Chain A
Amino acid sequence: MNKHLLNGLYGLLGFIMVSVFAFKVFQPIQVLPRMQISPAFTFTDQNNERLTSEDLRGKFVLYTFMYTSCPAPCYNISETMQEVQSRLGEVQLDNIEVSFVTISFDPDHDTSTALQAYAESVNADTSRWHFATTANKSLLKTVIGSGFETYYEDKGDGSFTFDPSFVLVDGWGIVRAEYRYATEVSNADRILRHLGVLAEEVRNSTGSAKLAYEAAHLFLCYAP
């Protein structure tokens, strides 16, 4: 009996190890990491209305950072946003809303009027795509620089040096993906794929399936 028991225990241990290994290797469930809390803010948008981080709760939000007088093509930032905006129908989002927020780090020139003109120039669907900034430059630096970890610096001649990036935030206000040009030029395909992964997690991560999703987070089964 002892021999049977020992074999059984070895079998159990082996089964658990093989299951964990298989889960890690085959990644039947993929997720996006919960990287950090997205910064809170109160900005003014292109309609001269208040836009707060709280207004965007419950939605997936794709943030980017730029200034409207950035010489074209300006890293194709707005073109990428435009492409994601126009191809949103390809993602099964159910009832989850997606918003886009372009934050300007040039409040001296990017007034509400300038932001509105820019929004029109890039054919933004302003029901979901916001252009915002704040005259409080210290808070702006905190939000963009420390919160979204995106570097920018005023060169003093009306232009800025900056690291272009996109940041994807979920409905709980948690940063789920960062797309930094320093590591890989962003493209709409990857962002759209990630929106789909996020939506799938929200849709399926209930009941006992939640445990499988938590295991995917634990074993770092991240969508590429």
Chain B
Amino acid sequence: MKLKIIISVFVIILGLAAGVYFFRPHTFHGTVIQSPEPSFDFKLNSADGEVSLSDYRGKIVLVYFGYTFCPDICPATLANVGQALRSMKESQADEVRLIMVSLDPQRDTPEKLAEYVGHFHPSFIGITGTDEKLAEVTSLYGIFYEKSPGSTAETYLIDHTATLLVIDREGYLKLVFPFGVTVDEIADDLKYMLNQ
């Protein structure tokens, strides 16, 4: 009888530990936003025509603002997202899209953008638009950017906010990843969102 009680207590403690572990809330690696409204919908140009954020309603959309001449942070972020998608099941990765908005419409034609983003993952989409339209979209997504002169008129850089934004299936901004987020962290949060 005594043995049964000891075993029971042991099983309960084990259950409690397992319960705490398995039912603990997911800790997102990005900052969670609890927006009461869907995020601002925009329409910009891709190599295949106009693309709206709302075209991808039903999928998780990562939005990144950058440009193809970007020497370091843009390729690093895009490579991490590409790797994160490759680490997931194909059916899961297919539920995610990345849209890169180019802040450099003078040099980044939609065709050039499509070729650039395709190097990181075949599902990535590259879009851009007029300066006026970009000013509106970037402002509403909290993205600051400005040209920084290079050695010649054609070699300027663009300083920009390097956050990676995650829009959920219903079109709400759900997460903001800071620059430096790792492949595993991106994959972990995306998998959790896909399973919700």
Where the two chains meet, the residues of A that have a C-beta atom closer than 8 Å to any C-beta of B are: 1, 4-5, 8-9, 11-12, 15-16, 33-42, 52-54, 138-139, 142-143, 146-147, 172-174, 210-211, 214-215, 217-218, 220
Contacts and interface: CB of A to CB of B under 8 A. Distances in A.
B12 A11 contact: yes
Given A5-B8, A36-B37, A38-B142, 14 more contacts: A4-B4, A4-B5, A16-B23, A34-B31, A36-B35, A36-B173, A37-B142, A39-B139, A40-B138, A40-B139, A52-B144, A139-B139, A147-B140, A220-B34
A36 B33 contact: yes
B12 A8 contact: yes
Interface in B10-59: 11-12, 15-16, 19, 23-25, 27-28, 31-37, 40
Contacts of B31: 34, 172, 174
Given A4-B5, A34-B33, A39 B142 contact: yes
A31 B169 CA distance: 26
Given A4-B5, A8-B12, A35-B33, A214 B19 contact: no
B72 interface: no
Contacts of A173: 142
Secondary structure of the B contact surface, majority rule:
mixed
A142 B110 CA distance: 25
Interface in B104-152: 132, 135-136, 138-144, 146
A54 B33 contact: no
Interface string B142-166: 1110100000000000000100010
Interface residues of B, number: 38
Contacts of B15: 8-9, 12
B144 A53 contact: yes
B138 to A, nearest CB: 6
A143 B40 CA distance: 13
Contacts of B37: 36
A35 B32 CA distance: 9
A86 B165 CA distance: 37
B193 interface: no
A54 B161 contact: yes
B144 A16 contact: no
Contacts of A218: 25
B37 to A, nearest CB: 7
Given A12-B16, A12-B19, A40 B161 contact: yes
Of A1, A11, A37, A172, most B-chain CB atoms within 10 Å: A37
Contact of A4 (B8, B23, B132, B140): B8
Nearest to B37: A36
Given A172-B176, A217-B34, A40 B142 contact: yes
B7 interface: yes
A142 B136 CA distance: 6
A174 B138 contact: no
